[in-house]
Amino acid sequence: MTVSFPHLAVLALLVSAAPASAAEPPGPGFEIGVRTGYAFAAGRLGAVPNGTDNDLGDYINGQWPLWLDAGYRLTPEIYLGGYFQYGVGFVNDDQQTTCRNANVDCSASDVRLGLMGIYRFAPVWRVSPWLGYGVGYEWGDFSFNQSILGSSNTDSSWSGFEFANLQAGADFHVSSRLSLAPFISLSLGQFRSTSTTTSAGSTTTTTDQDLAKKSLHEWIFIGVRLAFMP
């Protein structure tokens, strides 16, 4: 059975309503985290020379991310690790009107990779509030495939640094090795370069460019994190 974001949200509510006999927060050791939810897009993509600085939301309304992180709890309060996220983007058909056509297929994705830390505060009842911070690199992709009058494909990608990923959550301790946390995060990034590959028949052309105007964009991620200490 596939575990979706609504399933995890219901599980979080059940955990929070459970009796107050849950285990204490775990001590030092390895920790693996899995997150999902929904991320809202904001900000701008940046622009090539003589180009237009478009809104990120003109292409992608938001994304469904799957986030994995792994690291070590140095103390019960301090966690350091790395993270990888792959997000399935939701194309903005209101702006990308060609994507509505039956013979056109549009898709989008977002990949993020970086380092992060979490600081957990003293438990209140059976809940440990925490704050997190991360930095990394991001790759965004938007593909346009048309199958009428011969197949053609345009794949546009952007890449750049994620300067800050600010996080806040609260661990519900299911057991001494398992916790579930609703959380919210704000990612601040800036794309620095773009690449466009166009394919039509047997001809493929790729254009790589640095962005002349570099703008900030944001992802507002609301979801749940399941953490396990093996």
**Pick from 177, 224, 229, 228: nearest CA to 67:** 224
The secondary structure of 122-188, three-state, reads CCECCEEEEEEEEEEEEEEEEEEEECCCCCEEEEEEEEEEEEEEEEEEEEEECCCCEEEEEEEEEEE
pTM: 0.84
- Does the CA dihedral 48-49-53-59 come out positive or negative? negative
- Residue-range domains of the chain with CATH: 32-228 (2.40.160)
Q: List phi, psi (to 5°) of 100.
A: -80, -20
pLDDT, mean over the chain? 88
pLDDT in tens, 145-188: 887 666 788 999 999 999 999 999 999 988 888 999 999 999 99
Specify the DSSP element, H or E, that contains 101: none
pLDDT in tens, 91-126: 999 999 889 888 889 999 999 999 999 999 998 888
pLDDT of residue 31: 97
- Does the CA dihedral 168-9-40-111 come out positive or negative? positive
Q: At 27, is the pLDDT very low, low, confident or very high (cuts 50, 70, 90)? A: confident
pLDDT in tens, 67-81: 999 999 999 999 999
The span from the CA of 220 to the CA of 210, in Å, is 26
